[in-house]
Amino acid sequence: MLRRAAAAAITLAMTTSATTASAGTPAAVTGPDSTSVLAARQEPGRPIRRSPAGPTSQLEGAGKAFVLRYTTTSSLGEVVAATGLVLVPEAPTPDAGWPLVVYAHMTTGAADICAPTSDQVPAGEDTRLAQQGDDLARALLAAGVVVIRPDYEGLGVPGGHPYLQGPALATSLIDMVAAVRRILPLNGRWVAAGHSEGGVAALHVGDRRLRLVPGMTLRGIASFTPVTRMEVLLQALQPTPVTVPRVTQGLTSLAGLLVKGLAVVDPHFRRLVLRRGGLSERALALWPHLERRCLTGLSASDSWGGIAPRDILGPRGEEAAAYLRRELDRIDVRHIPMREVPIRIDEGLLDLVAPVAFTEALVKTYRDRGFLVTHGRWPAGHSPTNSQEQAVPASVRWMLSLLSGPPKRTHRSSPPHP
């Protein structure tokens, strides 16, 4: 994939200091509200400022809830701003500090209003998607675990969102862990978790090529319904000549997000789809919707959901589609060179977004490579799998066992069980 580092400095509001918290109170992260230049040498993983969490980000069981703006490295190599929610348990701070889970959310869209912490997410289905991790967060908070929930690169801040680009998503998670460590007393143990797109993000945290946070030990990775083999789904969808309610509408909106996500990180692909005939005129006319609407709006009949899959492509559509499929295959979660950390994958047996056959093949691939994988199967669809009624209780028990016990470094495979 083509990449280039930006030479110019960027602007954003930032602080000049952040100290370690004590007695369970987050350290003050202050700074001017007006924009100032963020030097190119600025480190990622630094807190910029914090602000109160909005109404849709409040959660019972959180003694403190605030939105943290922090620095991260973008998919183009820039140091940029990102945002995320920090939830601190009501219980007193442990003497050794808090354990931590970073939770990556499922797909909400690529527009700034789709950032879960923005409180601008449209009411209804989009809000439900943004809050799908609430059951997990409540259970972890009750167990005395700090939960942080990044918005991802380009959501709620300037810049594009590299949708489903696993390395970029994982970087947002890792850098938020580093930033939170500067303002909260943590005990050094953490787990990466996520759902759907976030499940991809969490698994990519396990990539041994990515640098983790010094002084913090990654104890495990929990992935709910991670999407895999999207290139196969796209190829199967591509020839469909008509729209099919509740089938193609959601998939064509996801296809638009996939095209947009690769265009954010790959200038050649961006030129191909926007200037050189990769997309049809109708798809080009709806391109701005990807920066204005969340997933439900994109799936509507007046947006990407109203395009028959075959009509998305332009004169050079086959070239663009093949390019996209190659890139999706290259960064697919099944190819990640994993660290020696336990992995948990929970799948929904009724999942149409992350089909059972693909998830089962992913688990087998990891086990064949010697990774320690716990596998949960649940009688649910894509979103409900990540709920208190399905996978959450078992997943939380698994996470807590890792956060409280000695790290497991064996490569033995474990039998599938919830």
**pLDDT on residue 244:** 62
Q: Which of 40-44, 233-237, 287-291 has the lowest mean pLDDT?
A: 40-44
| Rounded mean pLDDT, 259-265 | 96
Q: State pTM to two decimals.
A: 0.88
pLDDT tens, residue by residue, 378-413? 999 999 999 999 999 999 999 999 999 666 543 333
Query: CA triplet 66, 70, 73: central angle to 5 degrees?
Result: 145
Residue in the structure block whose two tokens are 């992350």: 354
pLDDT tens, residue by residue, 70-95? 999 999 999 999 999 999 999 999 99
pLDDT tens, residue by residue, 26-54? 444 433 332 333 433 489 999 999 999 99
pLDDT tens, residue by residue, 297-330? 999 999 999 999 899 999 999 999 999 999 999 9
Q: In the predicted model, what is the mean pLDDT of the chain?
A: 87
**H or E element that contains 167:** helix 166-181
pLDDT tens, residue by residue, 164-218? 999 999 999 999 999 999 999 999 999 999 999 999 999 999 999 999 999 999 9
CA–CA dist 197, 322 (Å, integer): 22
pLDDT tens, residue by residue, 95-132? 999 999 999 999 999 999 999 998 899 999 999 999 99
Provide the total of helices (H) and of strands (E) in the chain, helices listed first. 12, 13
- Distance (Å) of CA 157 to CA 65, 82, 176, 254: 20, 6, 15, 21
| Rounded mean pLDDT, 269-278 | 97
**pLDDT on residue 235:** 87
pLDDT > 70 fraction of the chain, expressed in percent and rounded:
85
Q: What pairs with residue 103 in β-bridges? A: 193
